[in-house]
Structure 1
Amino acid sequence: MGYKTTYPQIIAECGQALSMIDEQTTQTLIDAILGADKVFCVGVGRVLLSLQAICKRFNHLGIPCYFVGEIVEPAITERDILIVGSGSGESLVPVSIAKKAKLFGAKVALISSNPRSTLTSIADIFVRIPVQTKLGLPDELNSVQPMTSLFEQSLLLYGDSLAKLIIDQKHLDIDALWQYHANLE
Structure 2
Amino acid sequence: MKTDCFSILDLMLHTASRVEETARLVDQDEAARFLDEVISAKRIYVVGAGRSGLVAKAFAMRLMHLGFESYVVGETITPAFTGGDLLAAFSGSGETKSVVETCEIAHDLGGRIALVTATPESSIGRIADTVVTLGENHLRRPDVPHDFEVRQLTGQYRSASATATTPAETIFETAALVFADAIVAALMEVRHCTLDEIKGRWANVQ
Give TM-score, length-normalised by structure 2. Answer: 0.83
| Bigger Rg over Cα | 2
Deviations 1:31-90 (A, max 9, x none): 111111110011101111111111111110111111100011011111110011110111
Q: Determine whether 1:91 maps to 2:96.
A: yes
The whole-number CA distance in structure 1 between the counterparts of 2:106 and 2:96 is 16
The whole-number CA distance in structure 2 between the counterparts of 1:167 and 1:2 is 37
Task: List runs of 5+ in structure 2 lacking aligned partners.
Answer: 1-5, 142-159
Question: Counterpart in 2 of 1:142?
Answer: 162
Q: Determine whether 1:174 maps to 2:174.
A: no
Map 1:56-95 onto structure 2 (within 5 A): 56-95=61-100
The whole-number CA distance in structure 1 between the counterparts of 2:79 and 2:123 is 26
Q: 2:13 aligns with which of 8, 13, 21?
A: 8
Partner SS state of residue 180, structure 1 = coil
CA 1:98–1:146: 2 relative to 1, 3 Å? farther
Partner SS state of residue 90, structure 1 = coil
Runs of 4+ in 1 over 3 A off after TM superposition: 140-143, 145-148
Q: 1:19 aligns with which of 24, 28, 37?
A: 24
Amino acid across the alignment from 1:163: V
The whole-number CA distance in structure 1 between the counterparts of 2:95 and 2:168 is 16
Percent of pairs identical after alignment? Answer: 26
Map 1:118-129 onto structure 2 (within 5 A): 118-129=123-134
Q: Determine whether 1:151 maps to 2:172.
A: yes
Question: Counterpart in 1 of 2:47?
Answer: 42
Partner SS state of residue 172, structure 1 = coil
How far residue 2 of structure 1 moved from its aligned partner, in angstroms, is 1.1
The whole-number CA distance in structure 2 between the counterparts of 1:28 and 1:164 is 15
RMSD: 1.7
Task: List runs of 5+ in structure 1 lacking aligned partners.
Answer: none
How far residue 97 of structure 1 moved from its aligned partner, in angstroms, is 0.4
Partner SS state of residue 172, structure 2 = helix
State which drifts further: 15-24 or 59-68.
15-24
Residue-pair matches, total: 182
